[in-house]
Structure 1
Amino acid sequence: MSILAERGPARPATPLPAPPRPVRVLRGRRGEVRRPPTRARVVAGRRPAGAPCVAPRRMPVRWPWFAALAVASCLVVTGSVLFAGGAADAPVPERTATVSVEQGDTLAALATRFAPDSEPGAVVARILELNRLDQAVLVPGLPLTVPVADPAVVSAP
């Protein structure tokens, strides 16, 4: 046989409804959302008293635009280099002629007069090489051997 010990009042099978809470009426702040007492009240356009300065607004990051601009500028630079390199001047002519230096002539002027399609710097270097000149000082009446693109140019005054 067993003995049952009573442990306290028995619980009902269905829970009893909780008593209603008293309703707290807010006066003077109708429509305001309830907030914890530690949080400052925020009013549009005003900072709460004692709040630190608001940080400046951060601009959105525009990395895709920056990257596209960098790629476009690289393409422009590369295209201009390729275009300039593709339009290379004609090589220095192999044909030479002996001409007399006139008053006021320079090596660059002679290069552009006798080989107009070639790069003037390369023609000047070739004139210095052909005449074994160390310096670019020209004396009027000095005979010089120059590369010539068209022999008809030499016979013309």
Structure 2
Amino acid sequence: MSILAERGQARPATPLPAPLRPVRVLRGRRGEAQRPPTRARVVAGRRPAGAPCAAPRRVPVRWPWLAALAVASCLAVTGLGLFGGGSASAPVPAQTATVSVGQGDTLSSLAARFAPDSDASAVVARIEELNRLDGAALVPGLPLTVPVADPATVPAP
């Protein structure tokens, strides 16, 4: 150490830090072209953050269209119900005949047998009205007045 001291070049006791190297900043994904730092990154559909017109985009009001669509669909369903819901079956026949109730017969089976083209529930209601039935059970052999579409289908008594 004495030799170094004589020449005037003494080493300090602690080493000096190494000079700093510039750090490379990676942007985006690999393979993406490097842009100069002054150029803003443009993404499709978005404005750059520092742009003067970077205000949030207003979403158009859609509720009037939704309300109009709901009203139109309600009107369509109602119209289909009125025009398409009409019964295509024939009305309850005006002619009547007296028949005897068989074993296992019900009012709906009698309605289907004697007025097949008419609405079964309307024919059952007419049978109950003609015979003054109040939901009573049918007894085999009981005579009932039944609306008949074709008198030829009624068996002879």
Count how many residue pairs are aligned between Structure 1 and Structure 2.
107
SS state at 1:135 partner:
coil
Corresponding residue for residue 120 of structure 1 = 120
Corresponding residue for residue 91 of structure 2 = 91
- Cα distance in structure 2, aligned partners of 1:88 and 1:154: 25
Corresponding residue for residue 62 of structure 2 = 62
- Cα distance in structure 1, aligned partners of 2:117 and 2:73: 31
Corresponding residue for residue 130 of structure 2 = 130
- Cα distance in structure 2, aligned partners of 1:61 and 1:71: 18
Corresponding residue for residue 16 of structure 1 = none
Q: 1:105 to 1:60 in 2, by over 3 A?
A: farther
Structure 2: where are the runs of 5+ without partners?
A: 1-36, 39-47, 50-56
1:88: Cα distance to partner? 4.6
Q: 1:62 to 1:144 in 2, by over 3 A?
A: same
Q: 1:121 to 1:87 in 2, by over 3 A?
A: closer
1:146: Cα distance to partner? 0.1
Instruction: Tell me the C-alpha RMSD between the 2 structures.
Output: 3.3
1:30-86 deviations in Å (ceiling 9; x for gaps): 96xxxxxxxxxxx94xxxxxxxxxxxx986432243134213312321222222344
Q: 1:58 to 1:143 in 2, by over 3 A?
A: farther
Corresponding residue for residue 48 of structure 1 = none
What TM-score, normalized by structure 1, do the two folds share?
Answer: 0.54
1:109-140 deviations in Å (ceiling 9; x for gaps): 21122112222222112111211222241112
Structure 1 residue runs of 4 or more that deviate by more than 6 Å after TM superposition: none
SS state at 2:98 partner:
strand
Corresponding residue for residue 12 of structure 2 = none
Structure 1: where are the runs of 5+ without partners?
A: 1-29, 32-42, 45-56
| Structure 1 contact 107–136 (Cα < 8 Å) conserved | no
